[in-house]
Amino acid sequence: MENTRNTARVLVIGIDGVRLDLLPELDTPHLDEVARTGFLAPVEVDSATPTMSGPCWTTVVTGVGVAKHGVWANRLDGNRLDVFPDFTTRLAADCGLRTFAVGGWEPLFLARQGGPLFVSPTRLAYVAPRADTPEGWEEVDDRVTAEAEHLLGLDEELHAGFVYLGAVDETAHFLGCGQEYRRSIEAADRRLGRVLEAVRRRPGHAAEQWTVIVVTDHGHRDEGGHGGRSPQERTAWIAATGPGLPAGTAPSGLRHCDVAAQVYAALGIVPDSHWTLDGSPFTSAAIGA
Ligand SMILES: [Zn+2]
């Protein structure tokens, strides 16, 4: 356990609003590599959870569902993150580990719209949009990726991080799920590749064992938009690779709340019973379920 804890590292990359059914026809070599060395599995947003970014991302990073964390919409007001913090905050505050969170969607990172979701990671970086357009959001994700590369490249201890890419979702809201949306997913995959390369180039990489989790929060209707229960909206997915994770066999029955549980498990941390996590590690959750 102690050995694992000394060398284990976890990176979660959240890509907002990526439809699972379109992935097979898109050029996403970096996500394909995660899936090849680990797995890519569907996640159904449960019926209690609106298929919205606020509730779904909160479930992903806290490991508890809406009934506990209290985030029901894209405004995070009335949340119970003080009781059910995100993993970057929990690991830093309760476990003495070093964490980061970086992205460009305000309520996740700033005290706006009821946020932030990421209350106090060791390092937090918010990248402000310069233009609320599809191109503006692509530029945000480029700067978010550069910031993640910077943080991963620092010669200092780092145990877990979260990188948020939002341009895919914004593009669908502006333009629907057509060619621009598909190109945006491919651009997100290139950014995933840059982040994974930054992990491999870390000064201490030879002594680290990384788990990588890539996850989306919800899908989109063909015309763009989500929040309902259609298969296109409620189908999300998780891809993951790392020590102890299934390789080549996709677990079934994965849930968003399993992500935070897997982060703790990968770091060799047994959740305190008071955390009352709803999720389970991927390895125990779901195979054959
Ligand atoms: Zn979203």
Strands (E), 169-255: 209-216, 235-241
Tell how far the Cα of 53 is from the centroid of ligand 1, in angstroms.
Answer: 3
Cα of 166 from ligand 1 centre, angstroms: 8
Ligand 1 center from residue 123 Cα (angstroms): 23
pLDDT digits (tens, 9 = 90+) for 130-140: 999 999 999 99
- Determine the pLDDT at residue 287: 46
* Rounded to 5°, angle at Cα 263 from 259 and 265: 110
Distance 219 CA to ligand 1 centre (A): 8
Q: Tell me the whole-structure pTM to 2 decimals.
A: 0.96
* Ligand 1 geometric centre to CA of 133 (Å): 16
For residue 18, report the distance from its CA to the centre of ligand 1, in Å: 9
Pick the CATH number of 2-285 from 3.40.1360.10, 3.40.462.40, 3.40.720.10, 3.30.2290.10: 3.40.720.10
Give me 152's structure tokens.
């991963």
If you average pLDDT over residues 226-230, what whole number do you get? Answer: 96
The pLDDT mean for the chain works out to: 95
Where do the structural domains in the chain lie, given as residue ranges?
Answer: 2-285
Task: Compute, in angstroms, the gap from residue 86 CA to the centroid of ligand 1.
Answer: 17
For residue 202, the model assigns a pLDDT of 95
pLDDT tens column, 10-55: 999 999 999 999 999 999 999 999 999 999 999 999 999 999 999 9
- The answer to whether 244 and 51 have CB atoms below 8 angstroms apart is no
Lowest mean pLDDT among 3-12, 82-91, 211-220: 3-12
